[in-house]
């Protein structure tokens, strides 16, 4: 009788098309990437001297997901980003080492402005930063190896919250003649995306393994006068979540479409603690981290995690000279890479640039998926991508952008086409 039952079960497996690849497996790891020597910090050109101390450690966190022959490697690093030649260098190293297709790697940064400058430029990079970059390369390879050695079946839950940590920074002021000007300040009435998006990853025993989360804000609570190393808002939120939930849970964070979103308290000169003062990066990072935990507490049933599909595409857009609000006939086109990962009802959309918040919100609203997570500083960063209606206002994001007016609409349209194609794919 037992033999007959076994034969019937085997027949059902083959008749329904179930295979060994019809489940999602995941592996996770975290490495400390805090510099061992003083380094030049990234994000502000006015800083010329080396860092003077460490407030909180920096980490790289890796999630590897696999179903059958398809896999994806998702990395969050507590650095500003991978600019210029460093993006292609790190992507090439990891892709060759682990035999990855271009769409299977999302190498991302939380965009903290209080971390080492990652550079390969021997003519312009400090020797300590060159040494740091070389060590980071080796650590990222070991990071992925460690995550791959930890593979086991997983289930996913997802949820959403809201946080006031981020605020629009495009503030209008008036010069001495009464003319309106745009500068980087605080504009509480401006567009902002307060959504906190969370994915919980658990093993078959329902024990939590990782918390992937995303929020649209610059990690620029600390400014150009600060020379202390810190993960700033995102990095401190990651560490709070991990401390609260306890090991071995990892909490890789990602920066959403935040090109025009700064922390409520921004560009401060130091981490102040006198008279019991709570440093603003700690305050905001903890507030953000606590919201992630609140979202976790409200999560209920696991969601569909298959199929696992990946796509990468380079979107060609009209360009303009940097430093100018308008394009010229001779300005060459520019491009932005988009990397898309579908895990059943969830889709991750990684952009190699800094999208302003309205673009991310439009894509999320029009997406066919239950949970659409926008990630910036993914596999590099080409610069700011503003929506068309902001070009007449000008301002820092528009002036420094390599994209001409209308580029955002091209990116949105093509991204949604990709999402709809993946939605109907099996």
Q: How many CA atoms lie within 13 A of 307 on its CB side?
A: 14
**Is pLDDT at 7 greater than 70 in this prediction?**
no
Look at residue 237 and give its three-state secondary structure: helix
> 4: pLDDT confidence band, cut at 50, 70 and 90?
very low
- Distance, CA of 199 to CA of 92 (rounded, Å): 28
Own/partner pairs, 10-18, CB within 8 angstroms, 24+ separation: none
Range name among 95-104, 271-280, 321-330 with the lowest pLDDT average: 321-330
pLDDT higher than threshold 50 for residue 9? no
Lowest-confidence region among 59-63, 159-163, 254-258, 327-331: 327-331
- Closest by CA to 165, choosing from 123, 96, 218, is 218
Q: Is 268 exposed, middle or buried (0-12, 13-18, 19+ CB in 10 A)?
A: middle
| Residue owning tokens 């560009």 | 267
Task: Over range 81-104, report the average pLDDT.
Answer: 97
- pLDDT digit string, tens, across residues 351-393: 999 999 999 999 999 999 999 999 999 999 999 999 999 999 9
d(CA 117, CA 327): 30
Please give the structure tokens belonging to residue 100: 């990855």
Do the beta carbons of residue 205 and residue 349 sit within 8 Å?
A: no
Burial of 26 per CB tally in 10 Å (0-12, 13-18, 19+) = buried
Q: Which alpha helices (H) appear in 159-318, and where do they start and end?
A: 232-245, 280-298
Nearest to 380 by CA among 90, 13, 10: 90
Contacts of 129 (CB under 8 A, 6+ apart): 39, 40, 116, 117, 118, 119
CA distance 123 to 324: 28
Confidence of residue 16 (pLDDT cuts 50, 70, 90): very low
pLDDT band at 22 (very low <50, low <70, confident <90, very high): confident
Q: What per-residue confidence (pLDDT) applies to 245?
A: 98
pLDDT digits over 163-219, tens only? 999 999 999 999 999 998 999 999 999 999 999 999 999 999 999 999 999 999 999
Q: For 106-153, how does the pLDDT look when each residue is reduced to its tens digit (9 = 90+)?
A: 999 999 999 999 999 999 899 999 999 999 999 999 999 999 998 999
What is the average pLDDT value for the chain, to the nearest integer? Answer: 94
Q: Provide the percentage of residues in the chain whose pLDDT is more than 90.
A: 92
Looking at the predicted structure, is the pLDDT value of residue 6 above 90?
A: no
Residue 84's pLDDT is: 84
Note the pLDDT of residue 21: 58
């Amino acid at each position: 009788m037992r033999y007959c039952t076994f034969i019937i079960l085997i027949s059902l497996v083959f008749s329904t098309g179930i295979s060994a690849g019809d489940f999602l497996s995941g592996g996770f790891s975290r490495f400390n990437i805090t510099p061992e020597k003083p380094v030049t910090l990234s994000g502000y050109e006015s800083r010329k001297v080396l860092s003077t101390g460490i407030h909180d450690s920096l980490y790289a966190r890796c999630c590897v997901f696999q179903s059958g022959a398809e896999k994806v490697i998702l990395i969050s690093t507590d650095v500003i980003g991978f600019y210029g030649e460093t993006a292609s260098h790190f992507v090439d190293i990891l892709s060759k080492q682990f035999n990855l297709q271009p769409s299977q790697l999302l190498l991302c940064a939380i965009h903290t402005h209080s971390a080492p400058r990652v550079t390969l430029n021997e003519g312009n990079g400090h020797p300590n930063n060159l040494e740091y970059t070389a060590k980071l390369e080796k650590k990222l390879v070991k990071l992925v190896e460690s995550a791959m050695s930890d593979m086991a079946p997983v289930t996913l839950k997802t949820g959403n919250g809201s946080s006031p940590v981020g605020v629009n920074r495009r503030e209008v002021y008036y010069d001495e003649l009464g003319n309106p000007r745009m500068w980087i300040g605080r504009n509480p009435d401006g567009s902002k995306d307060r959504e906190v998006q969370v994915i919980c990853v658990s093993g078959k025993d329902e024990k939590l393994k990782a918390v992937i989360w995303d929020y649209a804000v610059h990690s620029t609570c600390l400014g150009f006068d600060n020379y202390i190393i810190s993960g700033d808002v995102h990095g401190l939120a990651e560490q709070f979540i991990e401390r609260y939930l306890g090991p071995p849970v990892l909490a890789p964070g990602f920066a959403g479409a935040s090109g025009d979103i700064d922390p409520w308290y921004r560009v401060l000169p130091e981490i102040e603690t006198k008279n019991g003062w709570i440093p603003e990066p700690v305050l905001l990072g903890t507030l953000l981290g606590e919201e992630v935990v609140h979202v976790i507490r409200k999560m209920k049933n696991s969601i569909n995690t298959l199929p696992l599909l990946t796509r990468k595409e380079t979107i060609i857009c009209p360009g303009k000279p940097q430093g100018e609000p308008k394009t010229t006939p001779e300005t060459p086109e520019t491009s932005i890479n988009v990397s898309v990962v579908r895990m059943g009802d969830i889709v991750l959309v990684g952009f190699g640039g800094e999208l302003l918040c309205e673009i991310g919100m439009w894509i999320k609203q029009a997406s066919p998926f239950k949970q659409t997570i926008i990630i910036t500083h993914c596999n590099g960063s080409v610069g700011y991508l503003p929506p068309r209606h902001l070009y007449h206002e000008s301002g820092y994001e528009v002036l420094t952008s390599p994209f001409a007016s209308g580029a955002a609409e091209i990116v949105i349209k093509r991204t949604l086409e990709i999402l709809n194609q993946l939605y109907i794919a099996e």
